[in-house]
């Protein structure tokens, strides 16, 4: 089922210059504008950004689940060397599961409420491997054991609403890793969960990743989750990538004022009674993204050049880059 053997140097998932247009009430807007990144097996890449920055849209275009109002207008999504954007619907369906899969945020709506979970978990095996119903359900029970659901044989006959939020998320993860994908995309997998449960789910994801040598794309707005969980980070703002690099470097020495602003506004080390260093304003409306730098309206470093020309994503060190005309100034600060 899997495409030709991997070139070890080639990323498992390689997204290049992805553009997504979105039809909205006020006309067509560009929701994702030239986003590129690559993830190798065994690595975790975080797509970090605030609501409306296009991170989820990027993930959905990678797995081909974009809503009809959105349309991929450019770029390439290469999984193991094949550009999935050029594949037919049927060919792409063959990739979903054994090669590429996704874990959604909301486990309750992502599961079918009127089917026992055992049958739902067995479905990938029946579709992609042609297993019999009995054998597929055996596999489902095995998966449920793996993701830590107690009494899996009994619980396989239960329906999604009979599980707690954390358990449902485990089921979704089980479903996503069922066919041993090379690339796993996790779209805010723990946002809806309590802190203590969130930690358990994150641990499960990490264990599965090591065990199966997957490339993981983690989509999140939570800086702390990125800090603890990811190897590389891509910071997105208003549909564009403003900075990327390894988490360690980006978080310790941000080279884009937006990244710096985000890191500063975490109240973790803030002293009570002193104002938090907040980024002023709010992200631009996608229909009114400024023509120069996307961050110009909120940037402390803004000057005339930022209004005139959009800074390209350029290298600012070994394997990291930032889209700012004046990133050197940040470096000095």
Closer residue to another protein (CB): 136 or 259: 259
Q: Are strands 240-246 and 320-322 parallel, antiparallel or unpaired?
A: antiparallel
Instruction: Give the integer Cα–Cα distance in Å for 48 and 222.
Output: 8
Place of tokens 């120069």: 292
Question: Counting contacts by CB under 8 A, is residue 284 touching another protein?
Answer: yes
CA distances, 178 to each of 13, 28, 64 (Å): 19, 38, 19
Name which position in 16, 19, 29, 180 contacts another protein (CB under 8 A): 29
* 25 binds another protein per the rule CB under 8 A: yes
Can you tell me which of 115, 276, 312, 328 binds another protein, judged by CB under 8 A?
A: 276
CB of 222 to another protein, least distance (A): 7
Contacting range for another protein; rule: CB under 8 A; set: 75-83, 92-100, 172-180, 286-294:
286-294
How far apart, in whole angstroms, are the C-alpha atoms of residue 184 and residue 205? 10
DSSP annotation string for 181-225? -SEEEEESTTTTS-HHHHHHHHHHHHHHHHHHT-EEEEEES-HHH
Which of 28, 132 has the CB closer to another protein? 28
Closer CB to another protein, 136 or 241, in the complex: 241
Interaction with another protein in 169-208: which residues (CB under 8 A)? Answer: 188, 191, 194-200, 202-203
**Binding test (CB under 8 A) with another protein, winner from 164, 291, 315, 319:** 164
- Cα torsion through 252, 315, 257, 32, rounded to 10: -110
Closest CB to another protein among 3 and 52? Answer: 52
Interaction residues for another protein, span 66-105 (CB under 8 A): 67-70, 105
| Tokens standing for residue 300 | 């402390």
- When the beta carbons of 97 and 254 are compared against another protein, the nearer one is 254
> Scanning residues 129 to 158, which ones bind another protein (CB under 8 A)?
none
Q: Which stretch binds another protein (CB under 8 A): 38-46, 119-127, 266-274, 307-315?
A: 266-274
Sites for another protein among residues 31-70 (CB under 8 A): 31, 50-52, 56-57, 67-70
Task: Pick one of 93, 153, 248, 305: the residue that binds another protein (CB under 8 A).
Answer: 248
Nearer to another protein (CB atom), residue 268 or residue 304: 268
In Å, the largest CA–CA distance within the chain is: 68
Binding residues for another protein, total number by CB under 8 A:
69
Q: Identify whether the C-beta of residue 248 lies closer than 8 Å to the C-beta of residue 226.
A: no
Partners of 103 in beta bridges: 186
Burial of 68 (0-12, 13-18, 19+ CB in 10 A): exposed
The answer to the question of residue 166 lying near another protein (CB under 8 A) is yes
Please, what is the minimum distance in Å from the beta carbon of residue 168 to another protein?
Answer: 11
Q: How far is CA 325 from CA 280, 290, 299, 314, in A?
A: 20, 15, 12, 9
Which of 146, 229, 255, 256 binds another protein (CB under 8 A)? It is 229
Give min distance, CB of 289 to another protein, in A. 10
Give the CB-side neighbour count of residue 121, counting CA atoms within 13 A: 35
User: Taking Cα atoms as reference points, which of 95, 77, 87 lies closest to residue 38?
Assistant: 77
In this complex, which beta carbon is closest to another protein, that of residue 12 or of residue 289? 289
Q: For residues 101 and 63, what is the distance between their CA atoms, to the nearest angstrom?
A: 7
What does DSSP assign to residue 283?
A: P
What residue ranges bind another protein (CB under 8 A)?
22-26, 29, 31, 50-52, 56-57, 67-70, 105, 164-167, 188, 191, 194-200, 202-203, 221-225, 227-229, 248, 251, 261-263, 265-270, 272-273, 275-288, 297-298
């Amino acid at each position: 089922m899997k495409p030709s053997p991997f070139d070890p140097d080639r990323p498992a998932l390689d997204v290049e210059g992805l553009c997504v247009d979105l039809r909205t009430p006020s006309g067509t807007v560009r929701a994702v504008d030239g986003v590129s990144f690559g993830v190798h097996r065994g690595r975790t890449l975080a797509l970090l950004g605030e609501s409306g920055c296009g991170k989820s849209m990027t993930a959905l275009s990678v797995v081909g689940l974009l809503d009809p109002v959105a349309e991929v207008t450019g770029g390439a999504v290469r999984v193991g060397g094949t550009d999935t954007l050029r594949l037919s619907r049927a060919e792409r369906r063959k990739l979903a599961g054994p090669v590429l899969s996704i874990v959604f945020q909301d486990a309750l709506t992502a599961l079918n409420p009127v089917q026992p979970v055992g049958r739902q978990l067995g479905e990938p095996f029946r579709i992609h491997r042609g297993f019999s119903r009995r054998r597929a359900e055996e596999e489902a029970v095995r998966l449920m054991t793996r993701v830590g659901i107690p009494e899996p044989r009994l619980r396989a006959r239960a329906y999604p609403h009979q599980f707690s939020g954390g358990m449902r998320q485990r089921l979704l993860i089980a479903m996503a890793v069922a066919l041993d994908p090379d690339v796993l995309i996790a779209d805010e997998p723990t946002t809806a969960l309590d802190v203590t449960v969130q930690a358990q789910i994150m641990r499960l994801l990490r264990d599965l990743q090591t065990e199966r040598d997957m490339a993981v794309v983690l989509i999140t707005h939570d800086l702390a989750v990125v800090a603890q969980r990811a190897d590389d980070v891509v910071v997105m703002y208003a549909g564009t990538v403003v900075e990327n690099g390894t988490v360690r470097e980006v978080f310790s020495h941000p080279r884009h004022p937006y990244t710096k602003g985000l890191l500063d506004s975490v109240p973790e080390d803030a002293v009570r009674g002193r104002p938090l260093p907040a980024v002023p304003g709010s992200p631009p409306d996608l229909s009114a993204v400024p023509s120069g730098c996307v961050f110009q309206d909120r940037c402390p470093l803004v000057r005339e050049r930022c209004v005139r020309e959009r800074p390209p994503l350029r290298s600012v060190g070994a394997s990291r880059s930032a889209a700012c005309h004046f990133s050197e100034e940040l470096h000095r600060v």
